[in-house]
């Protein structure tokens, strides 16, 4: 540590003293190491050091201690290890005492994890679910219009950036004319015109049948879509990780845009966390009652088995039934019958075995529904923290009143509702399985009746509600003229 004022060295610390096996790292060139600082008036100055070795990475967390006569030392708080190799960036916050890290894996996929560096004896990192790129191949049914199918995916909120679509237009135009400052609706029209020109230039050469013309439309739209995907992948390359010291908001700085990370509720966390991590989940976080926590984990495992077994056609059946306001109870029962009839790998038997391991399935279902139900008496803090500096409060007010904030909130709501829709869908199917098993479910007549009369209607109502919320969050807003009532 150097003093700018006195132009002298105040402290030297050998990081290898904190490495379990330092001989190997001493003999390798020092590359890939990183250092980050964080300060708070209450805690003082903290240092986070990442030490890179070919076999593993190590994060060392320190607190700067000042003794008399300007003598400084480092108080070692913890060491965190990881097997990920290519670290792009990391940061940490003193508000929650967490380290956030950003990696790129061998398949060029973005990986984000976080961990508490003060209280984590197991050294277990928490994974972050990063949105993948849109699907590479879009399936167009015979009754669907290829143009509408591709446009719906291209302009679905959060799928593609304006820059990626604009670049693809330029490529198809052979670089003639730049696409600048177009609204979302104008860009949609420009995409349609560009692809239609490509189709027209092909069909002018010869007469084609209606079937061949449809195939030409699919090929040209697929060509444009692939081009958009390539540019979106380039723009999605992560560059840095930002953690706001006052709000703990975490952002990924990418080559072409900024990604915001939103926290998951308990139900979403259990449903989305990797299977191997679910087996070692800390039950005390779920409930003080160990049996209730174990039942909740087993219930989620059943839901995930159902989710893995549901085919795309059956999933689409539930989507369309919600779209047409059909009763979800009837459709879920139909899906269950189809799953049982086509069960060739004994998946349903495995689900039943896991279901029998739950001590009180009705209580576990009620607990999970309660975690997803917004009809609670939650007290929401509406006041602004006046202890924060004025410039911080002004910046936060500008952020949360901006177009960016409305987009972030809208996409977060869409993600939450989409996940909870899937949980409710699988939960509804599982409850119909309970009813179907009857006495074999070992839960008693009273609980079966409670499931049929109370839990199933409640689950169906939540399923329809979250479908509606997801649909609303994906709709494009139209600007309303000021002079209109």
Map out the domains of the chain as residue ranges.
2-130+238-242, 146-235, 265-373+398-474
Nearest CA to 325 out of 423, 420, 141, 460 is that of: 460
What gap in Å lies between CA 446 and CA 449, rounded to an integer? Answer: 5
Which helix or strand (DSSP H or E) is residue 31 part of? none
pLDDT at residue number 337: 93
Both tokens assigned to 80: 């965190």
pLDDT at residue number 411: 87
User: Max Cα separation, the chain?
Assistant: 91
Both tokens assigned to 426: 């699988």
pLDDT at residue number 377: 46
pLDDT at residue number 19: 84
Q: What is the pLDDT of residues 318-369, one digit of tens each?
A: 999 999 999 999 999 999 999 999 887 888 889 988 888 889 999 999 999 9
Reduced DSSP (H G I as helix, E B as strand, rest coil) percent helix, strand, coil of the chain, to 5: 50, 15, 35
- Indicate the pairing of strand 44-52 with strand 110-116: unpaired
Residues of the chain with pLDDT under 50: 377
- Quick check: pTM over 0.85? no
What gap in Å lies between CA 340 and CA 388, rounded to an integer? Answer: 58
What gap in Å lies between CA 273 and CA 278, rounded to an integer? Answer: 6
pLDDT at residue number 142: 80
Q: Kindly tell me the sign of the dihedral angle through the C-alpha atoms of 364, 114, 240, 3.
A: positive
Q: How many CA atoms lie within 13 A of 236 on its CB side?
A: 21
- Determine the distance from the C-alpha atom of residue 351 to the mean position of all C-alpha atoms in its chain, rounded to a whole number: 26
Contacts of 138 (CB under 8 A, 6+ apart): 149, 150, 153, 222, 225
Distances (CA, A) of 368 to 49, 398, 424, 442: 40, 37, 10, 20
What gap in Å lies between CA 263 and CA 416, rounded to an integer? Answer: 10
């Amino acid at each position: 540590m150097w003093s700018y004022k006195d132009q002298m060295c105040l402290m030297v610390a050998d990081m290898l003293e904190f490495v379990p096996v330092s001989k190997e790292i001493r003999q390798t060139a020092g590359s890939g190491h990183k250092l980050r600082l964080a300060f708070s008036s209450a805690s003082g100055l903290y240092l986070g050091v990442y030490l890179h070795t070919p076999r593993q990475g190590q994060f060392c967390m320190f607190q700067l201690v000042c003794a008399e006569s300007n003598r400084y030392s480092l108080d070692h708080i913890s060491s965190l290890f990881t097997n990920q190799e290519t670290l792009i960036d990391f940061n940490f916050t003193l508000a929650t005492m967490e380290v956030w890290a950003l990696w790129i894996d061998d398949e060029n996929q973005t990986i984000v994890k976080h961990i508490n560096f003060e209280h984590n004896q197991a050294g277990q990192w928490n994974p972050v679910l990063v949105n993948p790129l849109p699907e590479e191949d879009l399936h167009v049914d015979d009754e669907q219009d290829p143009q509408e199918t591709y446009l719906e995916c291209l302009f679905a909120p959060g799928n593609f950036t304006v820059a990626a679509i604009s670049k693809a237009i330029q490529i198809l135009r052979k670089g003639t004319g730049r696409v600048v400052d177009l609204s979302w609706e104008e860009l949609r029209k420009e995409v349609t015109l560009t692809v239609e020109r490509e189709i027209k230039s092909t069909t002018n050469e010869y007469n084609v049948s209606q079937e061949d013309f449809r195939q030409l439309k699919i090929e040209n739209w697929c060509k444009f879509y692939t081009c958009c995907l390539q540019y979106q992948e380039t723009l999605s390359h992560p560059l840095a990780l930002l953690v706001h010291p006052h709000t703990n908001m975490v952002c990924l700085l990418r080559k072409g845009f900024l990604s915001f990370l939103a926290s998951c509720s308990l139900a979403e966390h259990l449903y989305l966390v990797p299977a191997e991590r679910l087996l070692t989940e800390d039950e005390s976080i779920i409930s003080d009652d160990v049996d209730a926590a174990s039942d909740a984990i087993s219930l989620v495992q059943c839901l995930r088995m159902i989710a893995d077994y549901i085919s795309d056609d059956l999933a689409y059946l539930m989507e369309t039934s919600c779209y047409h306001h059909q009763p979800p109870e009837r459709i879920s029962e139909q899906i269950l019958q189809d799953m049982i009839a086509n069960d060739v790998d004994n998946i349903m038997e495995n689900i039943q075995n896991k279901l029998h391991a739950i001590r009180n399935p009705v209580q576990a279902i009620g607990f999970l529904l309660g975690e997803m139900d917004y009809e609670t008496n939650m007290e929401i803090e509406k006041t602004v923290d006046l202890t924060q500096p004025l410039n911080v409060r002004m910046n936060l007010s500008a952020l949360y009143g901006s177009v960016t904030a409305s987009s972030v909130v809208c996409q977060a709501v869409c993600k939450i509702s989409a996940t909870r829709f899937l949980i409710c869908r699988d939960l509804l199917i599982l409850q119909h399985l309970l009813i179907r098993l009857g006495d074999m479910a070992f839960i008693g007549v009273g609980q079966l009746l409670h499931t049929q009369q109370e839990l199933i209607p409640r689950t169906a109502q939540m399923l329809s509600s979250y479908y509606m919320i997801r649909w609303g969050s994906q709709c494009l807003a139209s600007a309303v003229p000021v002079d209109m009532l």
